[in-house]
Structure 1
Amino acid sequence: MLVDATNDYSTPASGTDEPTSSEAVARRAPGARVIKAFNHLFAATLQADPRRPEGNRVLFVSGDDQEAKTMFTTMLTDLGFAPIDLGDLAGGGRLHQVPAGPLLGQDLVRLSDSRAQ
């Protein structure tokens, strides 16, 4: 499994018919099960404890291999994050990629069950 946490600031916002940066990474790593994650928040935010008093910090995940995403999101949950699967690298990846992904910089917390009621 290859986790792409990069952001390509050198390219303009990709249109829906252009490959995402993670699709480009996947092409450069044939056979790798590529997952896009850890790229929508700043490093200082990521290094903080993801367990907040009100719930757990959200991390967005996208990828074309469902089994790899399941394994990865289980690991993220074990680390205290609240992963949200956005779908494949093309559609989901576009939502949290630089420069125009609408989820970039969104530091969200999934409320704990006791707070959500």
Structure 2
Amino acid sequence: MLPTCPGRRRTSSSRPARRISPSCRLRSEIRNQARVHLWYPERFFGRQCPAYRSSSHSLSYFSSKTHAVGVRLAGTGEFEVTRHSASTISFSFRIVPNRVIDNRVTHEEKAARAKQRWPEISVVPW
């Protein structure tokens, strides 16, 4: 369980996605990344994180490149997928770190959780 931080609002992990698409059976996390820079220093011992210009910009700061995939509902009613530039690894069964800022602890925690759930994946060390 993550600590509650100022400016951070928790959301249900699957209900919002089902409201967008009733046929969605995948478990997902819907997060607003606009306020991350406000709570990030408190949670990560004073380390700074830039204010994101857009949700796409936030993907370049995710702790693991593998998880840097965003989906949004476009004005046409279609889903639009945005990925980190190295996102071909998203479906390669590898957890790859993103060293743009020091997210080592988060990368290792997420990798350990993923490895428990899917033992066949490989984890690229920090």
TM-score (norm 1): 0.30
Structure scoring higher RCO (CA < 8 A, sep ≥ 6) equals 1
- Over alpha carbons, which structure has the higher Rg? 2
